[in-house]
Amino acid sequence: MAEVNTEAAIRQQAAAEEFNARCNAVEAAGSKAFGDKWVQAKNDLALLDDHGRIPMDILQVALETEDPAQVLFELGRDLGKADELMAMPALKRAIAMNDLAKAKLSVQLASNPRRRLQLLPAVRLMIPRAIAIQMRSGIEKRGCESGVCSMRGGSALALNGARN
Around 67, how many Cα atoms within 13 Å sit in the side-chain half-sphere? 21
- Look at the chain and count its residues: 164
In the structure, what pLDDT confidence band is assigned to residue 5 with cuts at 50, 70 and 90? confident
Q: What is the pLDDT of residues 21-68, one digit of tens each?
A: 999 999 999 999 999 999 999 999 999 998 999 999 999 999 999 899
CA angle 64, 54, 62 (to 5 degrees): 15
Asked whether 62 and 71 are in contact (CB, 8 A), the reply is: yes
CA distance 65 to 108: 15
